[in-house]
Amino acid sequence: MKASVIIPAYNAEKTIGQCLEALEKQAFGNFEVIVVDDGSKDKTAEIVEKFKGTKLLRQKNSGPAAARNLGAKSAKGEIIVFTDSDCIAEKNFLDEILAPFSDKRVAGVQGKYKSRQKEDFAVITQEEIEHRHKKIESKLIDSIGSYAAAYRKDVFEMMGGFDTSFPKASGEDTDLSYRISEAGYKMVFAEKAIVWHTHPNTLRKYLEVKFLRAFWRIKVYGKHKQKTVHDSYTSTAMKAQIIAMAGILIFSLLTVLALAIKDTELLLVLTIIMAMFSIIFILSFFAFIIRLAKHEEGKAILLFAVFYFGLCACLLNYSTTNTSILTQVLWVAVVISIAAIFVSSASFFWYLWKKNKRIAVIFELTLLLRTGAFLAGIVAGTIRQVRNSI
């Protein structure tokens, strides 16, 4: 079995050397390396040319999707492996990511990445990934990230490769794997196929990444609407947090409206509607808690629920004195939405707490910002989709 390792590179002079050095040390021997310089303005190409046997292709800056497709066209291997220019593969990376292809039914394999960074938000990012990987270790998957990905070349070509309408590293890998999954092919997770990678190491960069991922995820979900409900990448907890954050914004705006208007009939109608919605929301959320409570972290989740909803009860008792019924209903919805975000994060918080208590606290303190950045990305992405469809 011959493999072709394809690396898109844009202004990667600081990392491409280490990336290629790691590939030269691979235990697996039957492979070629193809680097596609995506219009770099630095010394990326000069560095690549120093590595004998590495094929260098060039293109005008068109994004990683186009670069990977160009590399795939030139590939001679029956398996094409993708990694990024800032990833460093472990010695047995190729052995491990190629091993599942002994099963003829397997068309795609997802590797794993780790980080040696010690900064708080880099650690949180890595732990989010580890937590996600923990849940997919023994399952078939439908989402593969291109930092450590492998596909049968014939299946890749049959699917038309990566969608080049994604201008950045922004969801084109998820889109491809969804198409492969929907075509009925099997994809698996190779836990021991490891590359080392770097993550955003400040709060600002962390939130920017969350925003951009959500922004482009809307385009992906626009093409694969059924994945909005369930996929192997986005956790149920994350989706619950996004819905709850949306609820905070909507209910807060309605609260302002209720306080501003004087029409008693309209207030009555809004009160009835919001009361019904709040009941549905509360029932749905407690169903979510019961479902999560079946897992190992169940006690932590239930303790979170008791604490946050107890806090909510005190806050509501203080803030709704001498206010209209509608305002009280809306306040209940707002506060429950806030509580929902924290309770739905309890599983991951407990996972962090057992490993690093300080990181767990930092995650909890910045949770609303994280969820807000993700929701902002969803809103911006939705607006973009609507404009493009007009």
The model's confidence at residue 7, banded by pLDDT at 50, 70 and 90, is very high
The model's confidence at residue 326, banded by pLDDT at 50, 70 and 90, is low
Element (H, E) at 329: helix 325-344
> Can you say whether the dihedral through the CA atoms of 63, 65, 70, 72 is positive or negative?
positive
Residue 197: is its pLDDT beyond 70?
yes
Q: What angle do CA 124, 286, 128 make, to 5 degrees?
A: 10
Residue 138: is its pLDDT beyond 70?
no
Q: What is the pLDDT of residue 217?
A: 86
pLDDT tens digits for range 352-370: 888 899 999 999 889 888 8
Q: What is the mean pLDDT of residues 328-341?
A: 65
Element (H, E) at 131: helix 120-136
pLDDT tens digits for range 31-52: 999 999 999 999 999 999 999 8
Q: What is the pLDDT of residue 385?
A: 85
The model's confidence at residue 325, banded by pLDDT at 50, 70 and 90, is low
**Are 48 and 16 within 8 A, CB to CB?**
yes
Report the 10 Å Cβ neighbour count for 386: 10
Q: What is the pLDDT of residue 257?
A: 67
Q: What is the pLDDT of residue 250?
A: 65
Report, in angstroms and rounded to the nearest whole number, the Rg of the chain calculated over CA atoms. Answer: 24
> Can you say whether the dihedral through the CA atoms of 88, 90, 94, 100 is positive or negative?
negative
In angstroms, what CA-CA distances link 305 with 88, 122, 284, 289, 299? 41, 28, 14, 8, 10
The model's confidence at residue 170, banded by pLDDT at 50, 70 and 90, is confident
Q: Could you state, in order of their start, the residue ranges of all structural domains in the chain?
A: 3-200, 236-355
**Are 135 and 34 within 8 A, CB to CB?**
no
pLDDT tens digits for range 267-324: 666 666 666 666 665 665 566 556 555 555 555 555 555 555 555 555 555 555 555 6
Q: What is the pLDDT of residue 225?
A: 80
Q: What is the pLDDT of residue 157?
A: 96
- The count of C-alpha atoms lying within 13 angstroms of the C-alpha of 3, restricted to the half-sphere facing its C-beta, is 23
The model's confidence at residue 131, banded by pLDDT at 50, 70 and 90, is confident
Output 151 or 220, whichever has higher pLDDT.
151
Q: Percentage of residues in the chain with pLDDT exceeding 90?
A: 48
**Are 260 and 316 within 8 A, CB to CB?**
no
The model's confidence at residue 100, banded by pLDDT at 50, 70 and 90, is very high
Tell me which CATH homologous superfamily contains domain 3-200: Spore Coat Polysaccharide Biosynthesis Protein SpsA; Chain A (3.90.550.10)
- Write the burial class of residue 92 (CB in 10 Å: 0-12 exposed, 13-18 middle, 19+ buried): middle
Q: What is the pLDDT of residue 137?
A: 61
**Exposure b/e, 120-147, CB count within 10 A at least 16 = b:** bbbbbbbbbbebbeeebeeeebbbbbbb
Those residues whose C-beta lies under 8 Å from the C-beta of residue 185, and which sit 6 or more positions away, are: 105, 106, 107, 108, 155
Residue 58: is its pLDDT beyond 80?
yes
Rounded to the nearest 5°, which phi and psi values hold at 328? -65, -45
Pairing of strands 106-114, 186-196: parallel
CA–CA dist 389, 63 (Å, integer): 23
Q: pTM of the prediction?
A: 0.80
Q: Which of 219, 206, 213, 146 is nearest to 177 (CA)?
A: 146
Q: Could you identify the residue written with the tokens 């698996």?
A: 188
Residue 117: is its pLDDT beyond 90?
yes
Average pLDDT taken over every residue of the chain: 82
The model's confidence at residue 351, banded by pLDDT at 50, 70 and 90, is confident
Pairing of strands 31-38, 79-83: unpaired
Least confident of 136-145, 234-243, 331-340, 378-387: 234-243
Q: What is the pLDDT of residue 176?
A: 95
**Are 331 and 320 within 8 A, CB to CB?**
yes
